Every structure is written in structure tokens, then in C-alpha cells.
Amino acid sequence: MPENGYRKHESFEAMMRRFKRQIEHDGILREIRDRKHYEKPSERKRKKRKSSRGRK
């Protein structure tokens, strides 16, 4: 879990921007979106194969 302390002489908006960047960097939002709906293992494999085909 990212921790974001309040820096001296820092505005609330700047602190929130830092926090959002930290979450984005850690991949937390991506994980939340992925876990929002249950995905069967077969669907997960199919999606993984499809994405790997595009990389070649």
C-alpha cells in the first residue's frame, strides 16, 4: 500500500497528484480494474494468448 505523507508547504492538490502517480506506478488501479469482475482461468489464458500474438 503506497504511503503518501504531507510535505511541509505542500498544497493538497500537489499531494493528491503525487499519490495518484504513486498508485499508477505501483499498478494498483490496473489490479482493481482486473479484479472488478471474476474472470475464469480459461478466459484469462485466452486473453493472454491474444495479447502475446500482437507483440510478435
Q: Does an H or E element contain 50, and which?
A: helix 41-55
* 10-51 pLDDT, tens digit each: 899 999 999 889 888 888 888 888 888 888 999 989 988 988
CB 4, CB 24: distance < 8 Å = no
Number of helices and strands in the chain (H, E) = 3, 0
Q: List the chain domain ranges.
A: 12-55
Report the pLDDT value the prediction gives residue 52, as an integer from 0 to 100.
87
